[in-house]
Amino acid sequence: KFDPREANKFRDFPLTEKTQKGCLELCKYKVPTVIQSKSLIPSLKGEDILGAAKTGSGKTLAFIIPILEKLFKLKWSSIDGVGALVLTPTRELAYQIFEVLRKVGKYHDFSAGLVIGGKEMNKESEFINNTNIIISTPGRLLHHMDQTPGFSVDNLQILVLDEADRMLDMGFQQDLNCILQNLPAHKQTLLYSATQTRSVKDLARLNMTNWVLLSDFELA
């Protein structure tokens, strides 16, 4: 039986072999960081997370692993469309997340795509509907929601708001609200930020009924 108090390696957690291999072989990670080990069990169980942990604490993997595990358990395939959406404030962050996903998700069969502008809308529009995991910036995603015919997020299972505090600081509140309104109500939400602010909590309150609060700042 799994006992979180005794789990201190990734292989102690109930993860699929594909994900374990991705963590170990490709990232060489054996031991989860604090935010990873605190969040993994609730997020694997499908709970919503409001997580605050400072930059460099390993938040990326804390949401990539639950995405992979959830879609795997649902036997998600190319015909199921967009199952996971990660929103992050900048293109650079989106690239970084994509790279982590490529490594850790190497042994899974999901398609993943960056939707961040800087290339033709048409190119993105061609693949966006056949992509299982989308990593995007808010403005660009909203653009596709408004303008790409047939773009559907009706099957979305899991939403990640990465650097939620920074997205709000950068003025994405309105875009985020519009996006959130277009997403199915029944889904898991993982919200991560580097700081704990009231506005982030308010954003979460809009869309999360029940959440687990994980904060580095309470430990300090």
Phi-psi label, residue 167: left if phi above 0, alpha if psi -120 to 50, beta otherwise = alpha
Rounded Cα gap, residues 126 and 73, in angstroms: 27
Is residue 177 classed as helix, strand or coil in its secondary structure?
helix
Is residue 166 near Mg ion by the rule CB under 5 A? no
Residues forming a β-bridge with 189: 159
Nearest distance, CB of residue 30 and ligand ADP, angstroms: 7
Instruction: Pick one of 1, 5, 56, 118: the residue that binds ligand ADP (CB under 6 A).
Output: 56
Residue 6 and residue 52: Cα distance in Å, rounded? 23
The answer to whether 15 and 65 are in contact (CB under 8 A) is yes
Among 38, 59, 143, 166, binds Mg ion (CB under 5 A): 59
Query: Least CB distance from residue 80 to ligand ADP, whole Å?
Result: 27
- Note whether 60 binds ligand ADP by CB under 6 A: yes
Under the criterion CB under 6 A, does residue 210 sit at the interface with ligand ADP? Answer: no
Question: Residue 215 interacts with ligand ADP (CB under 6 A)?
Answer: no
Shortest distance (Å) from residue 67 CB to ligand ADP: 14
Per CB under 6 A, the list member of 57, 90, 125, 155 interacting with ligand ADP is 57
Residue type for position 33: T
Query: Which residue of 15, 19, 29, 104 would you call a contact of ligand ADP, by CB under 6 A?
Result: 29
Say whether residue 58 binds ligand ADP (CB under 6 A).
Answer: yes
**Residue 133 forms beta bridges with which residues?**
84, 112
One residue of 15, 40, 49, 61 binding ligand ADP per CB under 6 A: 61
Q: Do 189 and 207 contact (CB within 8 A), yes or no?
A: yes
Check binding of 33 to ligand ADP (CB under 6 A): yes
Amino acid symbol at 47? E
What 3 state SS string does 64-130 have? Answer: HHHHHHHHHHCCCCHHHCCCEEEECCCHHHHHHHHHHHHHHCCCCCCCEEEECCCCCHHHHHHHHCC
55 binds ligand ADP (CB under 6 A): yes
Q: Which does 213 bind (CB under 5 to 8 A by kind): Mg ion, ligand ADP, none?
A: none
**Judging by DSSP bridges, how do beta strands 211-215 and 84-87 pair with one another?**
unpaired
Least CB distance to Mg ion at residue 51 (A): 11
Applying CB under 6 A, the span of 59-67, 127-135, 148-156, 180-188 interacting with ligand ADP comes to: 59-67
Q: Please count the residues of this chain forming the interface with ligand ADP, following the rule CB under 6 A.
A: 13
Give the footprint of ligand ADP on this chain (CB under 6 A). Answer: 29, 31-33, 36, 53, 55-61
